[in-house]
Homo-oligomer: A and B are copies of this chain.
Amino acid sequence: MNRFKVILKFLLDQKSTIGYSLMALFTLGGERVFNRVSFQCPCNHQQNFAYGLTFLLGPAVVLLVLGLFLSTRFWKLFTGCCLNPKKLLPKKNNCDSLPELMSVFWGACVVPIMWLCIALMSGTFYECAASGLKKHLVVDHFCKNKTIKCLEELAQVPCERSKLPSEERAELRLMFKAQSQILGWSIIIIAVVAALLGICLRYSCSEVSYLQLTFWKHYMEKEKEHLNTFTVKYASKLAKRNIKSFFENKPPGLFPLQTHEAWKKIS
């Protein structure tokens, strides 16, 4: 039993690492599934760009919204801000909410950026989008040193039925893939460096020391836990009392209830 407890404690300590790894795995799996089952480049000049971009950005937007949905802090910020607009406006004396909102937003951005990187690494979406670009500077760059047919047939490259010589087609596909992966790596590098700088900035402006911050983090976690159990317990007690008093036709006994003000204060 002791060994089992040790392992469980270790897993709970590494909670967020495991969570992010699982999310990365799910994102990777999702990309594979989309790629196999759903994605099929239309291979014509008008649609390629829009189609590829939709598959690149669509899931990213959905994941961003999902991330905001699942964020408790986001709902804490927004709840009641319509009746009490002071809460969101940053120009007032209490300007806590804008950095808070930014931090919630960046937290929700982690999974969409994962998706973008994984999708760009695999390269098929970008290939479809890039091959549908209009004949401009970019396309001339793709077809430099190649036959004139290249310009006409560029949109057909992602499909099997291109009329280009197979060698030239393979070259173009490799080029698209390389561009896509370079773009993916650039996004990863920019994201991690920006995250590091942002968190550095936030920590460096904090008034309290690192150890105290650790203490408050533990405190918040514990508070949330206890609040949950207490809420369930009290809600159950209150409901029982009210229903009992209804069935027995008696006025309900007294129950210590908190006012709205008290609830607002602890939020």
What is A's interface to B at a CB cutoff of 8 Å?
A: 38, 40-44, 47, 50-51, 54-55, 58, 61-62, 65-66, 68-69, 72, 75-76, 78-83, 121, 159, 161, 167, 170-171, 174-175, 177-179, 181-182, 185-186, 188-189, 192-193, 195-196, 199-201, 203-215, 218-219, 221-223, 225-227, 230-232, 234-236, 238-240, 242-244, 246-249, 256, 258, 260, 262-264, 266-267
- Docked Cα-Cα span, A209 to B195, in Å, equals 30
Q: B219 touching A44 by the CB < 8 A rule?
A: no
Q: Find chain B residues with CB under 8 A from A266 CB.
A: 211, 246
Q: Is the CB of B243 within 8 A of A230?
A: yes
Are A42 and B207 closer than 8 Å at their CB atoms? no
Q: Are B175 and A47 in contact (CB under 8 A)?
A: yes
Residue contact A204 to B40, C-beta cutoff 8 Å = no
Q: Which residues of B contact A246 (CB under 8 A)?
A: 258, 262, 266
Q: Which residue of B lies closest to A6 (CB)?
A: B8
**Contact partner, A174, options B43, B223, B240, Cβ 8 Å:** B43
Give Cα A83–Cα B204 distance, bound, in whole angstroms.
7
Pick the residue among B42, B208, B210, B221 that contacts A76 (CB under 8 A).
Answer: B210
- Set B58, B76, B181, B264: member contacting A51, Cβ < 8 A: B181
This chain's copy number in the assembly: 3
Q: Nearest-CB distance from A59 to chain B (Å)?
A: 8
B263-A80 in contact (CB<8A): no
Question: By the criterion CB–CB under 8 Å, are A247 and B239 in contact?
Answer: no
A174 (CB) vs chain B CBs: closest residue: B42
Chain B residues with CB below 8 A from A80, complex form: 203-210
Q: How far is the CB of A49 from chain B (nearest CB, A)?
A: 11
Beta-carbon contact of B171 and A81 below 8 Å: no
Contacts of A167 in B (CB 8 A): 161
Please name all residues of chain B whose beta carbon is closer than 8 Å to the beta carbon of A242 when the two chains form the complex: 223
- Please tell me if the beta carbons of B61 and A193 are within 8 angstroms of each other in the complex: yes
Q: Is the CB of A227 within 8 A of B243?
A: yes
Chain B residues whose C-beta falls within 8 Å of the C-beta of A248 in the assembled complex: 256
Q: For A267, list chain B residues within 8 Å (CB).
A: 209-212
The CA of A214 and the CA of B211, in the complex, are separated in Å by: 24
Q: How far is the CA of A54 from the CA of B189 in the complex (A)?
A: 10
Q: A58-B188, A212-B263 are in contact. List 20 more A-B contacts (CB 8 A).
A: A44-B171, A47-B178, A51-B182, A58-B185, A62-B192, A65-B195, A65-B196, A76-B209, A79-B206, A80-B203, A81-B204, A209-B263, A215-B235, A218-B232, A219-B238, A223-B242, A230-B244, A246-B258, A247-B256, A248-B256
